[in-house]
Every structure is written in C-alpha cells, then in structure tokens.
C-alpha cells in the first residue's frame, strides 16, 4: 500500500553533518558546497525538488531512490557556489507524494564568509608608511619598531596572529635505533636550530612530561638566531615499550605559542 514519508531533512556533504530545519549554514564565497535533501522511507518514492533563488549559482544532481525493506529512501544533492550577494538567502527542499495533502519542506539559510583579497605589512616610519611586501625589515636592538598588518576584503573580520621565526628543524640524536633495556640509564640528546626568539625544549614519553629530567643549553649562531641542545636522562621502563619519545621545541612570545617536535618509538627490552 502507498505510504507517505514522515519527514524531509537537509544534510551537508561536508563534515558538518545533519542540518536542522531553518538552520544557518556557513559557506565560503566562490567555493562549491554540497547539500543533500533526504526523506524517511516512503512508497512509492517521493519526488524531491530543490527551490533555490535564481541568482544563486547551483547545480542539482539526479535523484537517487534506495530500497529499504519494502519502501524507498530518496536523496537529491545540490551543489551551490555562493557569492557575497547570497548572504541570508534561503534554500528549500520540497518533497511531494501522492499520499501527502501538503508537500513537506526543509530549509537552510546561507551565511557567506569571504576570504580576504589581500594582506600587506607596513612599517611605520617618517613620511608615508612603507609597504614591506616580502622585503627585509631593518630594526635596531632595544629600540621599538612599529609594523602594521592590513587585511582587505574579508567577512567576517579576520583574527590576526603574530608569529616570529620557529626553529628550522628539531632532531633527536644519540639514541641509535631507540633500542633500550629496562632499568638501564641512557642519555638522549635533542637539537633544535635557527629559531628566534629564544625557545625551550620539552620532553614527553607518551603523554607524560619528563622535561624535569633534562638539561638545556641555548647558543646564538652566526645568523644571530638561537640554537638549543637538550639532554634527557632516561631510565627505561618496560611499560613504556611502544610509546613515543617526543622532543618539542616551544617558543613563547607575547602574541602566540609555537611548537615544533620530533619523535621516535621506544623499543624497550627486559633483562633476562
């Protein structure tokens, strides 16, 4: 016998998951976005129709009808490519069926984000501010310098994060192939090179912070950046076999925290 669907819903093909009726979805201007209209089982299959404003760029894919038991689950996907003019517009999916007195509908509202069109750095100075582009900024030690970051054309407003130079590399040395013996003390060395400003080195075995068992030496290299070397005293425990030994170079500034790490898997054998 004919059976109408009890509900129609809209899902996102992206990781956003199910979308509640009349919810707002966030999309990016100029980037394709897939949304799918679904119905609960019905017999015969429903007819799904996307109701999308004509000035929205979209493409509607063919409907699929999958049998579940003796009923059909129907789906129909629309790919939209939103523009800045589509902010707040409504997309609707409508399901019609011979046993429905009124067609079922589900809808979503568009919240269109716009990526910035450009970003520049300006150095404050005498006269007109200078656009740094990718140039070198000359500063004097212990003297304040002012740099302005300018971002154009975004929606909503961007959030700025200032970062200085992380180390070029982090390397664990002096442990060979990480073959250790339970209870036998060994020393592991980690080196991080060419960072600015100065940074720390933290050690972890799995999730456990073992930095207190290490020493740290920082030096200034020929490029006036910092190198660091840390030695960790390890007394292996067979319970740590298979865990990762992690060396993490941590750089803390007024504006942010950056970290770069290297790790190896511990291979710990027991004494016989």
Domain boundaries, the chain: 8-113, 169-269
More confident: 213 or 270: 213
Inform me whether the pLDDT recorded for 177 exceeds 80.
Answer: no
Q: Tell me, yes or no, if the two domains 8-113 and 169-269 fold the same way.
A: yes
Dist CA 137 CA 143 (whole Å) = 13
Per-residue pLDDT at 23 exceeds 80: yes
Residue 127 has pLDDT above 50, yes or no: no
Among all chains, which residue has been given the structure tokens 């063919």? 62
Report, at the CATH architecture level, how domain 8-113 is classified.
Sandwich (2.60)
Q: How many residues does the chain have?
A: 272
What does the DSSP 8-state code read for residue 160? -
What digits encode the pLDDT tens for the residues 232-249?
Answer: 998 888 888 888 889 998
pLDDT higher than threshold 60 for residue 187: yes
Beta carbons of 93 and 10 less than 8 angstroms apart = yes
Per-residue exposure over 146-166, b if at least 16 CB sit within 10 Å of its own CB, e if not = eeeeeeeeeeeeeeeeeeeeb
- So what's the architecture of 169-269 in CATH? Sandwich (2.60)
Q: Roughly how many angstroms between the first and final C-alpha of the chain, as a whole number?
A: 75
Q: Name the band, by pLDDT with cuts 50, 70 and 90, for residue 257.
A: low
Is the pLDDT at 161 greater than 90? The verdict is no
- Tokens representing residue 227 in the block: 């190198």
Mean pLDDT for all residues in the chain = 84
- Highest mean pLDDT among 89-93, 142-146, 160-164, 200-204 belongs to 89-93
* Predicted local confidence at residue 58, as pLDDT: 95
């Amino acid at each position: 016998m004919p059976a109408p669907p009890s509900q129609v819903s809209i899902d996102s093909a992206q990781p956003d998951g199910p979308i509640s009726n009349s919810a707002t979805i966030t999309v990016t201007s100029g980037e394709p976005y897939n949304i799918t209209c679904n119905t609960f089982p019905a017999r015969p299959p429903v007819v799904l129709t996307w109701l999308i404003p004509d000035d929205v760029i979209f493409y509607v894919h063919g409907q699929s009808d999958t049998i579940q038991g003796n009923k059909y689950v129907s789906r129909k996907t629309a790919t939209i490519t939103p523009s800045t003019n589509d902010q707040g517009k409504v997309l609707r999916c409508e399901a019609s069926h011979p046993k429905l007195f009124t067609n079922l509908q589900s809808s979503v509202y568009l919240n269109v984000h716009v990526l910035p069109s450009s970003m520049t750095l300006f150095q404050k100075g005498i006269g007109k501010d200078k656009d740094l582009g990718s140039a070198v900024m000359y500063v004097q030690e212990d003297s304040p310098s002012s740099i302005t970051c300018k971002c154009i054309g975004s929606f909503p407003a961007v959030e700025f994060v200032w970062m200085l130079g992380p180390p070029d590399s982090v390397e664990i040395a002096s442990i060979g192939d990480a073959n250790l013996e339970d209870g036998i003390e060994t020393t592991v060395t980690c080196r991080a090179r060419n960072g600015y400003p100065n940074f720390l080195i933290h050690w972890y075995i799995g999730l456990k912070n073992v930095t207190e068992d290490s020493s740290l030496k920082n030096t200034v290299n020929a490029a006036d950046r910092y190198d660091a070397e840390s030695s960790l005293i390890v007394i292996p425990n067979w319970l740590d076999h298979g865990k990762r030994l992690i060396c993490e170079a941590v750089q803390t500034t007024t504006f942010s925290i950056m970290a770069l790490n290297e790790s190896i898997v511990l291979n710990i054998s027991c004494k016989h």
